[in-house]
Amino acid sequence: MKQADKPLKLFDTWRRDIVDFESIEKDKVGLYACGPTVYDFAHIGNLRTYLFVDVLRRVLEFNGYQVNHVMNVTDVGHLVSDDDSGEDKMEKGSRLQNKSAWEIALLFEEKFFEDMASLNIHKPKLICRATDHIIEQIEFIQNLETKGFTYSTSDGIYFDTSKLDAHGFDYGQLARLNVDGLQAGSRVDFAEKKHITDFALWKFSGDESRQMEWESPWGKGFPGWHIECSAMAEKYLGELFDIHLGGEDHISVHHSNEIAQSQARHGTRMANYWMHGYFLQIDKEKVAKSGKSIVLSQLVEKGYDPIAYRYLVLTSHYRSRLNFTWGSLDAASNALNRLRKTMSFWPDGGTVNKFYLNQFIERINKDLNMPQALALLWSVLQSDIKDGDKKATLLEFDKIFGFKLDNKISAETTIPADIMDLAELRQQARAKGDWAGSDRLRLEIQKSGFTIEDGKEG
């Protein structure tokens, strides 16, 4: 529902400001989120970024927008170094895991979506793989070539960032980079690149033996990482769409390059709002696949419900870094269990409390202030409104939180021990044919707000 008095405000990295959100098309939002590079399991830092994307999407939908959510899967072209050198992560993954690059891509794409489902993250409306869009990428590069934005070196076709100036664009705008200062102060050798900020559009296979390579007007090779997003976002969302998302590390290179490509081709900055999720850290260091890393299955192996991780992520604002500790996950897990247990005693059929709902909308619409929204959830829980109304209100909030509070199974997993004891006693009574005792125990269980049902297997 649209709230005229509580407009949705979002932080736009481009403007470095919290601004009112206005969509290009009434009631519709085109949203592109940079997807995972599928050479390994996603770590819980990556997943924090997709939780941020999920919350934003839910908030947009709560505000009455129909969200066309597009996400790519990077299955080629992302090199181990941001400066266009080094191995392709997919080929590296293949070498280390003794599977073909194609098998690696499919395997970790599947694992990624399993993690997304465990965290109750809505699947994007459209998922597109870089390797399925080679023609679109070649066509995009040809267009840039025609417009005079490219040059070739011995290892590929590059984007000449200095050409943007003449068209009134500043390459450094998104990242607030001082491009001239960078160039002058650079001590590193940037090989045959003309400027430190130039980047590869197409890389030649050269002498490298590659599994993923394609013919192109410039020779056999593969697309650079940045062109895939510009080409696919344009194909599915057009020359200018509403929101583009990613992690904070994308600001200075990947997103700056996507913008440069779109400015060169279409004269637009690609999206009206650029939003970035901040890093998850461990011991104050960023979580990285090549460094300190924890994956979701490790949490599950230790007995945590993945939704407890979702809860933990929502305790901090997406624009602040979050330091992961097992203690903080324990606290999140306990809070979630307490919440589910309390709610399991409440009756259905209540009505959503308008006062709390209004406050909730105000908080989520203030640049997704989830820590404040969570605080409100606990205020509702402790308030003196009727239990049924509390339940209806929290279930309404859960459209954003995504804690599966309406899920009977998750409530069952937190059945108190004394109820389980009564159920066990009743089972024993039934086994002995003590039907009166069994019925008495059933009533006792019911008084505590639980229903016991006998399945085919007992």
The answer to whether 55 contacts ligand AMP (rule: CB under 6 A) is: no
Choose the contact partner of 48 out of Zn ion, ligand AMP, none; CB within 5 to 8 A by kind. Answer: ligand AMP
Which residue, 37 or 197, is less far from ligand AMP as judged by CB?
37
Please state the closest distance from residue 310 (CB atom) to Zn ion, in A. Answer: 24
Please state the closest distance from residue 293 (CB atom) to ligand AMP, in A. Answer: 9
Site size for ligand AMP (CB under 6 A): 17
The answer to whether 247 contacts ligand AMP (rule: CB under 6 A) is: yes
Calpha distance 77→86 (Å, rounded): 11
The answer to whether 49 contacts ligand AMP (rule: CB under 6 A) is: yes
Range 204-233, binding Zn ion (CB under 5 A)? 229
Choose the contact partner of 124 out of ligand AMP, Zn ion, none; CB within 5 to 8 A by kind. Answer: none
The answer to whether 141 contacts Zn ion (rule: CB under 5 A) is: no
| Secondary structure in 3-state letters for the chain | CCCCCCCCEEEECCCCEEEECCCCECCEEEEEECCCECCCCCEHHHHHHHHHHHHHHHHHHHCCCEEEEEEEEECCCCECCCCCCCCEHHHHHHHHHCCCHHHHHHHHHHHHHHHHHHCCCCCCCEEEEHHHHHHHHHHHHHHHHHCCCEEECCCEEEECHHHHHHHCCCCCCCCCCCHHHHHHHCCCCCCCCCCCCCEEEEEECCCCCCCCCECCCCCCEEECHHHHHHHHHHHHHCCCEEEEEEEHHHCCCHHHHHHHHHHHHHCCCCEEEEEEECCEEECCEECCCCCCCCEHHHHHHCCCCHHHHHHHHHCCCCCCCEEECHHHHHHHHHHHHHHHHHHHCCCCCCCCCHHHHHHHHHHHCECCCHHHHHHHHHHHHHCCCCHHHHHHHHHHHHHHHCCCCCCHHHHHCCCCHHHHHHHHHHHHHHHCCCHHHHHHHHHHHHHCCCCCCCCCCC
With CB under 6 A as the contact rule, the residue among 10, 21, 32, 36 that binds ligand AMP is 36
With CB under 5 A as the contact rule, the residue among 29, 31, 33, 34 that binds Zn ion is 34
The answer to whether 286 contacts ligand AMP (rule: CB under 6 A) is: yes
Which residue, 67 or 79, is less far from ligand AMP as judged by CB?
79
**Piece of the chain touching ligand AMP by CB under 6 A; list 29-37, 56-64, 98-106, 149-157:** 29-37
The answer to whether 250 contacts ligand AMP (rule: CB under 6 A) is: yes
Please state the closest distance from residue 69 (CB atom) to Zn ion, in A. Answer: 14
**Piece of the chain touching Zn ion by CB under 5 A; list 26-34, 48-56, 113-121, 291-299:** 26-34
The answer to whether 246 contacts ligand AMP (rule: CB under 6 A) is: yes
The answer to whether 37 contacts ligand AMP (rule: CB under 6 A) is: yes
Choose the contact partner of 229 out of ligand AMP, Zn ion, none; CB within 5 to 8 A by kind. Answer: Zn ion
Please state the closest distance from residue 440 (CB atom) to ligand AMP, in A. Answer: 54
Choose the contact partner of 221 out of Zn ion, ligand AMP, none; CB within 5 to 8 A by kind. Answer: none
- Interface residues with Zn ion (CB under 5 A)? 34, 229
- Interface residues with ligand AMP (CB under 6 A)? 34, 36-37, 45-46, 48-49, 74, 246-247, 249-250, 277, 279-280, 286-287
